[in-house]
């Protein structure tokens, strides 16, 4: 059975099991605990969309929970509007708030983003106090209690909370298996590599933030009607909400569909039972339990119970797997390789780049012709990788112009350049460790394809082209250095580039590995793709390049055919020094 079908069946099984529990339990207290499990699992899943999948840790996600609670209750109090309609309005308000919060906050990264999100629930608490809504009770509606979500039967709240959980599970699963889901996980694992593969990280994170706000608002609305009955700023915007959300997510495991559900199923009953049994003698025992659980998880399973179990299962499977095999390229196409043309594909004019006074690039100008292999050489610190970062959009030049396929692209983000046909690999291979080899390459395929099935087919074809077709289900951690470089090249090719920038693709390879990679680069050019390559292995580069560009101290030192450049005394001196040149007595290198 396909894995996606198994996941949907698992969701159906969880919902069915929850339904059975709701019908079987008798004690009102047990129903309350069950409702809490469902609601905190749903809240954890909502938080998981932005913090688990996208890796943007939000410490202020209770702001959407509180919006859901306050909007629905105030609509009942002020307009006598049913919370069934109020929840829809609350979702709209939460989505709008997510947009307004996300636009400035996502300009920050890492811990700075997380700390910035703390400000928003504090702001809402102050606003609610200032407006006079320190304590708003839900009015009793005796004539139509169900219409106002005021059930006398506790099973009704169980079923309502289960419905919220089911909807959040479906939303999370849909995101996880979508183009957006793959992109979010790529951003989480390595944002620069994701950008180079055409992922607009800012837009992806904003989409995740908005999608996570909606279920959080619904959870807040149901929680206030099922559990609290009175809404206060501290109760819905306070630290308790986010601490419970973090605990159930971290204990179970973030970045997965099942982590928050596992955490809620374990932590909520334990803390509630302790609170009801010894809470009067040990006030605050719930917080102590949560803190102890976090400490134990951080020590024994830092990534959560789900990932701990999954890693153990994967390690056992890898031990049983066959040993690594040599990479075998598919048969070479006998069609003669396309020769370089006179058409200029990339124009670089008078590019400058400095870092706090250090001039990394100065007056760099050159052209790249279609279907050629241009080698970029120079001593360490010559500015080669800085040049690639400028061409690829990771750095903005201080001066100068870059034109690609006739269009000025100076200042474009890496994702925009990738969508225009400019691909990139890195000096140190950048993988998405928790994605399989096939899924790594699918991230590149999504540049031109929205459909997951079609992207999977493109990725499989790209892996076959580089000889990794039988490693599609492996994970990057189990690959050799050569296989990692081939996988990164396949990921780049899946974007359908017109030009690829290869940053030291032969680094760390054995002699056989170098031969394989050289053959692969030739095959890439034979397919009509232009190649610009940085490489320190001169013998290999002389076998590959049609032309060489030499940089030294950020300036263009020489440019021309390999034989001409390697006999240039200025180039030899830049690499080996005047003493070597004088001792040899010849300009030949």
Domains and CATH numbers, the chain: 3-238 (no CATH), 344-421+497-584 (3.40.50.300), 434-494 (no CATH)
* Cβ partners under 8 Å of residue 457, min gap 6: none
Q: What pLDDT band is residue 288 in, cutting at 50, 70 and 90?
A: confident
Q: What is the residue-wise DSSP string for 530-544? A: EEEEE-S-HHHHHHH
- pLDDT at site 142: 80
Q: What pLDDT band is residue 279 in, cutting at 50, 70 and 90?
A: low
pLDDT tens figures, 27-71: 899 999 999 999 999 999 999 999 999 999 999 999 999 999 999
- pLDDT at site 271: 81
Q: Is the pLDDT of residue 201 over 60?
A: yes
Q: Determine which of 147-161, 270-284, 543-557 has the lowest per-residue pLDDT on average.
A: 270-284
- pLDDT at site 280: 67
User: What mean pLDDT comes out for the span 257-272?
Assistant: 90
Strand (E) or helix (H) holding 552: strand 547-552
Residue 330 CB coordination number (10 Å)? 11
Give percent above pLDDT 90 in the chain: 65
- Distance separating alpha carbons of residues 346 and 336, to the nearest angstrom: 24
- pLDDT at site 588: 41
User: What mean pLDDT comes out for the span 159-184?
Assistant: 95
Sign (positive/negative) of CA torsion 574, 576, 580, 586?
negative
Which residues are paired to 351 by β-bridges? 364
Q: Is the pLDDT of residue 106 over 70?
A: yes
More confident position, 265 or 287: 265
Q: What pLDDT band is residue 499 in, cutting at 50, 70 and 90?
A: very high
pLDDT tens figures, 125-163: 999 999 999 999 998 888 888 899 999 889 999 999 999
- pLDDT at site 338: 63
Q: What pLDDT band is residue 405 in, cutting at 50, 70 and 90?
A: very high
More confident position, 580 or 423: 423
- Distance separating alpha carbons of residues 444 and 465, to the nearest angstrom: 15
Q: What is the residue-wise DSSP string for 337-354? A: PPPP-S-EEEEEEEEEEE
Contact predicate 236/62, CB 8 Å = yes
Of the candidates 57, 62, 89, 59, which has an alpha carbon nearest to the alpha carbon of residue 73? Answer: 89
User: What mean pLDDT comes out for the span 534-544?
Assistant: 85
Q: Is 201 exposed, middle or buried (0-12, 13-18, 19+ CB in 10 A)?
A: buried
Q: Is the pLDDT of residue 579 over 70?
A: no
* Locus of tokens 């304590």: 135
Specify the DSSP class assigned to residue 144: S
Model pTM? 0.89
Q: Is 269 helix (H, G, I), strand (E, B) or coil?
A: helix
More confident position, 260 or 301: 260
**What is the token pair recorded at 13?**
């099984």
Mean pLDDT, the chain, integer: 88
User: What mean pLDDT comes out for the span 450-475?
Assistant: 93
User: What mean pLDDT comes out for the span 410-430?
Assistant: 93
pLDDT tens figures, 291-350: 777 777 777 777 888 888 888 887 777 666 655 566 665 555 544 556 777 789 999 999
């Amino acid at each position: 059975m396909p894995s996606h079908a198994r996941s949907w069946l698992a969701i159906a099984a969880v919902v069915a099991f929850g339904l059975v529990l709701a019908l079987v339990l008798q004690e009102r207290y047990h129903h309350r605990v069950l409702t809490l499990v469902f609601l905190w699992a749903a809240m954890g899943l909502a938080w998981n969309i932005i913090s688990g999948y996208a890796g943007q840790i939000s410490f202020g996600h209770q702001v959407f929970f509180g919006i859901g609670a306050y909007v629905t209750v105030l609509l009942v109090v002020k307009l006598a509007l049913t919370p069934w309609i109020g929840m829809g309005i609350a979702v709209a308000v939460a989505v709008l708030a997510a947009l307004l919060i996300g636009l400035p906050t996502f300009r920050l990264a890492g811990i700075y983003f997380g700390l910035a999100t703390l400000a928003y629930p504090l702001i809402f608490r102050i606003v609610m106090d200032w407006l006079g809504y320190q304590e708003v009770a839900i009015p009793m509606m005796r004539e139509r209690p169900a219409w106002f979500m005021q059930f006398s039967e506790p099973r009704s709240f169980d079923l309502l909370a289960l419905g919220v959980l089911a909807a959040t599970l479906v939303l999370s699963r849909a995101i996880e298996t979508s183009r957006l889901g793959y992109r979010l996980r790529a951003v989480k694992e390595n944002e620069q590599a994701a950008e180079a593969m055409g992922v607009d990280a800012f837009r992806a994170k904003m989409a995740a933030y908005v999608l996570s706000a909606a279920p959080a608002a619904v959870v807040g609305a149901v929680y206030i009607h099922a559990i609290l009955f009175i809404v206060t700023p501290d109760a819905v915007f306070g630290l308790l909400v986010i601490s419970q959300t973090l605990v159930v997510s971290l204990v179970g495991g973030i970045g997965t569909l099942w982590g928050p559900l596992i955490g809620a199923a374990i932590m909520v009953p334990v803390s509630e039972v302790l609170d009801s049994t010894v809470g009067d003698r040990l006030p605050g025992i719930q917080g102590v339990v949560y803190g102890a659980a976090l400490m134990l998880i951080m020590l024994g399973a830092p990534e959560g119970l789900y990932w701990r179990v999954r890693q153990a299962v994967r390690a056992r499977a890898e031990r049983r797997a066959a040993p690594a095999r040599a990479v075998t390229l598919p048969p070479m196409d006998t069609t003669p390789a396309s020769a370089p043309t006179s058409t200029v594909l990339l124009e670089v004019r008078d590019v400058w780049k400095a870092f706090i006074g250090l001039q990394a690039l100065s007056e760099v100008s050159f052209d790249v012709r279609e279907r050629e292999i241009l080698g970029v050489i120079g001593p360490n610190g010559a500015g080669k990788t800085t040049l690639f970062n400028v061409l690829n959009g990771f750095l903005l030049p201080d001066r100068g112009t870059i034109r690609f396929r006739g269009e000025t692209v100076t200042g474009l983000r890496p994702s925009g350049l990738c969508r225009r046909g400019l691909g990139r690999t890195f000096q140190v291979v950048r993988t998405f460790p928790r994605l399989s080899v096939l899924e790594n390459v699918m991230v590149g395929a999504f540049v031109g394809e929205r459909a997951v099935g079609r992207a999977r087919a493109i990725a499989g074809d790209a892996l076959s082209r580089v000889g990794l077709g039988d490693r599609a289900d492996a994970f990057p951690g189990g690959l050799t250095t050569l296989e990692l470089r081939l996988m990164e090249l396949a990921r780049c090719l899946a974007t359908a580039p017109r030009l690829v920038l290869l940053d030291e693709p032969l680094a760390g390879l054995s002699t056989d590995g170098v031969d394989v990679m050289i053959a692969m680069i030739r095959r890439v050019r034979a397919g009509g793709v232009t190649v610009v390559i940085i490489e320190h292995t001169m013998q290999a580069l002389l076998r590959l390049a049609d032309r060489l560009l030499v940089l030294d101290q950020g300036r263009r030192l020489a440019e021309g055919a390999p034989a001409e450049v390697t006999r240039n005394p200025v180039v030899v001196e830049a690499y080996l020094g005047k003493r070597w040149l004088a001792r040899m007595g010849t300009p030949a290198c």
